[in-house]
Structure 1
Amino acid sequence: MKESNKFLRLLAKDYPTIGATTSEIINLEAIMNLPKATEHFVSDIHGEYDAFQHVLRNGSGNIKEKINEIFGDRLMQKEKNALATLIYYPEEKIKLILSEYETENEKEEWFRMTLSRLIEVCVFVASKYTRSKVRKALPDEFAYIIEELLFKDNKYANKDGYYNEIIDSIISLERGAAFVTAMSNLIQRLVVDQLHVVGDIYDRGPHPDKIVETLMQHHSVDIQWGNHDILWMGAASGSAVCMANVIRIQARYHHLDILEEGYGITLRQLWNFADSTYSTETNSCFYPKIDPSEPKPLQEEMIQLTKIHQAIAIIQFKLEGPIIRRHPEFHMDHRLLLNKIDYEKGTITLQGETYPLTNTSFPTIDPIDPYQLTPEEEAIVEKLVLAFKNSNQLQKHISYLINNGSMYLTHNHNLLVHGCLPMNPDGSFMEMDIRGKMVSGKVLLDKFEDAVRKGFLYQQRENNDKYLDLVWYLWTGPASSLFGKDQMTTFERYYIEDKATHIEKKNVYYEKRNEVETCEKILAEFDLDPSKGHIINGHTPVKEKRGEDPIKAEGRLIVIDGGFSKAYQGTTGLAGYTLLYNSFGMVLVSHQPFTSVKEAIEKESDIVSTRRVVDRELERMKVRDTDTGKKLQEKVADLKALLFAYRNGEISEKIYRKSSTYL
Structure 2
Amino acid sequence: MKNAQSNELIAEIINLEAILNLPKGTEHFISDLHGEFDSFNHILRNGSGSIRDKVYTLFSQKLSVEQMDDLCFLIYYPEEKIHSLKLRQELTQNWWYEAIEHLLIIVRFSSSKYTRSKVRKALPKTYAYILEELIYQYDETTDKKAYYRQIIEKIIELGEAERFISDLAHLVQRFVIDHLHVIGDIYDRGPHPDKIMDSLMTYHSLDIQWGNHDIIWLGAVSGSKACLANVLRICARYGNLDLLEDAYGIDLTHLKTYSRETYQDNLHFKPKKNPYRKLTTTEITDSMKIQQALSIIQEKLEGQLIQRRPEFEMDHRLLLDKIKNDQLTIENHSYNLVNTCFQTINWCNPYQLSTEEEHIINDLLEQIQHSQKLNQHMAFLVEKGSLYLAYNHNLLIHGCIPLNEDGSFQSIAFNGRNYAGKKLLDLFEIKIKEAFQRPWQTDDFATDLIWYLWCGECSSLFGKKAMKTFERYFIQESETHIEEKNAYYKLRNNVDICQHILNAFNLQGEDAHIINGHTPVKQIKGESPIKACGKMIVIDGGFSRTYQKVTGIGGYTLLYNSFGMQLAAHKPFSNKETTIENNDDIISTRQIVDRQIKRLKVKDTTIGASLIKDTELLKCQLENPTHFSSTKQTKKN
Compute the TM-score of the two structures, normalised by the length of structure 1.
0.93
Deviation at 1:23, TM superposition (A): 1.5
Which residue identity is paired with 1:202? Y
Q: Which residue, 390, 393, 400 being the options, matches 1:413? A: 393
* CA deviation map 1:563-590 (0-9, x unaligned): 0001100100011100000000000001
**Residue correspondence of structure 1 range 82-481 to structure 2 within 5 A:** 82-101=70-89, 107-280=92-265, 283-292=266-275, 294-295=277-278, 297-342=279-324, 344=325, 346-460=326-440, 462=441, 465-481=444-460
Deviation at 1:475, TM superposition (A): 0.1
CA RMSD of aligned residues (A): 1.6
Deviation at 1:292, TM superposition (A): 4.0
Which residue identity is paired with 1:628? I
Instruction: Return the alpha-carbon distance in structure 2 between the equivalents of residues 92 and 72 of structure 1.
Output: 25
Instruction: Return the alpha-carbon distance in structure 2 between the equivalents of residues 614 and 628 of structure 1.
Output: 23
Instruction: Return the alpha-carbon distance in structure 2 between the equivalents of residues 394 and 496 of structure 1.
Output: 35
Instruction: Return the alpha-carbon distance in structure 2 between the equivalents of residues 276 and 154 of structure 1.
Output: 76
Change beyond 3 A, Cα 1:650–1:180:
closer
Q: Which residue, 53, 64, 85 being the options, matches 1:65? A: 53
Please say if residues 224 and 442 of structure 2, whose CA atoms lie closer than 8 Å, have aligned partners that are also in contact.
Answer: no
Q: 1:602: which partner in 2?
A: 581
Instruction: Return the alpha-carbon distance in structure 2 between the equivalents of residues 463 and 249 of structure 1.
Output: 21
Aligned residues: 630
Please say if residues 85 and 600 of structure 1, whose CA atoms lie closer than 8 Å, have aligned partners that are also in contact.
Answer: no
Deviation at 1:448, TM superposition (A): 0.4
Change beyond 3 A, Cα 1:50–1:650:
closer
Q: Does 1:23 find its partner at 2:23?
A: no
Instruction: Return the alpha-carbon distance in structure 1 between the equivalents of residues 217 and 442 of structure 2.
Output: 20
* CA deviation map 1:456-476 (0-9, x unaligned): 10113x475211110000000
Deviation at 1:358, TM superposition (A): 1.7
Instruction: Return the alpha-carbon distance in structure 1 between the equivalents of residues 206 and 587 of structure 2.
Output: 25
Instruction: Return the alpha-carbon distance in structure 1 between the equivalents of residues 492 and 350 of structure 2.
Output: 41
SS at match of 1:428: coil
Which residue identity is paired with 2:6? I
Please say if residues 347 and 355 of structure 1, whose CA atoms lie closer than 8 Å, have aligned partners that are also in contact.
Answer: yes
Q: 1:7: which partner in 2?
A: none
Q: 1:6: which partner in 2?
A: none
Q: Which residue, 563, 574, 593 being the options, matches 1:584? A: 563
Which residue identity is paired with 1:77? V
Please say if residues 275 and 545 of structure 2, whose CA atoms lie closer than 8 Å, have aligned partners that are also in contact.
Answer: no
Please say if residues 98 and 107 of structure 1, whose CA atoms lie closer than 8 Å, have aligned partners that are also in contact.
Answer: no
Mean CA deviation greater in 589-598 or 286-295: 286-295
Please say if residues 458 and 464 of structure 1, whose CA atoms lie closer than 8 Å, have aligned partners that are also in contact.
Answer: no
SS at match of 2:515: strand
Q: 2:634: which partner in 1?
A: none
SS at match of 2:348: coil
Q: 2:23: which partner in 1?
A: 35
Mean CA deviation greater in 587-596 or 66-75: 66-75
Mean CA deviation greater in 352-361 or 616-625: 352-361
Please say if residues 23 and 599 of structure 2, whose CA atoms lie closer than 8 Å, have aligned partners that are also in contact.
Answer: yes
Please say if residues 223 and 442 of structure 2, whose CA atoms lie closer than 8 Å, have aligned partners that are also in contact.
Answer: no
Instruction: Return the alpha-carbon distance in structure 1 between the equivalents of residues 4 and 483 of structure 2.
Output: 64
Please say if residues 32 and 623 of structure 1, whose CA atoms lie closer than 8 Å, have aligned partners that are also in contact.
Answer: yes
Instruction: Return the alpha-carbon distance in structure 2 between the equivalents of residues 16 and 216 of structure 1.
Output: 40
Instruction: Return the alpha-carbon distance in structure 1 between the equivalents of residues 470 and 382 of structure 2.
Output: 30
Q: 1:4: which partner in 2?
A: none
Instruction: Return the alpha-carbon distance in structure 2 between the equivalents of residues 400 and 455 of structure 1.
Output: 15
SS at match of 2:171: helix
Instruction: Return the alpha-carbon distance in structure 1 between the equivalents of residues 503 and 251 of structure 2.
Output: 48
SS at match of 1:64: helix
Deviation at 1:152, TM superposition (A): 2.5
Q: Which residue, 543, 556, 559 being the options, matches 1:564? A: 543
Deviation at 1:16, TM superposition (A): 4.6
Compute the TM-score of the two structures, normalised by the length of structure 2.
0.97
Deviation at 1:301, TM superposition (A): 2.9
Which residue identity is paired with 1:557? M
Please say if residues 430 and 440 of structure 1, whose CA atoms lie closer than 8 Å, have aligned partners that are also in contact.
Answer: yes
Mean CA deviation greater in 414-423 or 624-633: 624-633
SS at match of 1:66: helix
Which residue identity is paired with 1:119? L
SS at match of 2:624: helix
Structure 1: stretches of 5+ with no match in the other structure: 1-11, 653-663
Please say if residues 28 and 636 of structure 1, whose CA atoms lie closer than 8 Å, have aligned partners that are also in contact.
Answer: yes
Mean CA deviation greater in 64-73 or 463-472: 463-472
Q: Does 1:521 find its partner at 2:504?
A: no
Instruction: Return the alpha-carbon distance in structure 1 between the equivalents of residues 140 and 303 of structure 2.
Output: 75
Instruction: Return the alpha-carbon distance in structure 2 between the equivalents of residues 562 and 575 of structure 1.
Output: 6
Which residue identity is paired with 1:188? Q
Please say if residues 567 and 591 of structure 2, whose CA atoms lie closer than 8 Å, have aligned partners that are also in contact.
Answer: yes
Mean CA deviation greater in 161-170 or 576-585: 161-170
Which residue identity is paired with 2:350? P
Deviation at 1:60, TM superposition (A): 0.5
Instruction: Return the alpha-carbon distance in structure 1 between the equivalents of residues 381 and 69 of structure 2.
Output: 35
* CA deviation map 1:604-651 (0-9, x unaligned): 1111321100000000000011111111111111121122225x9997
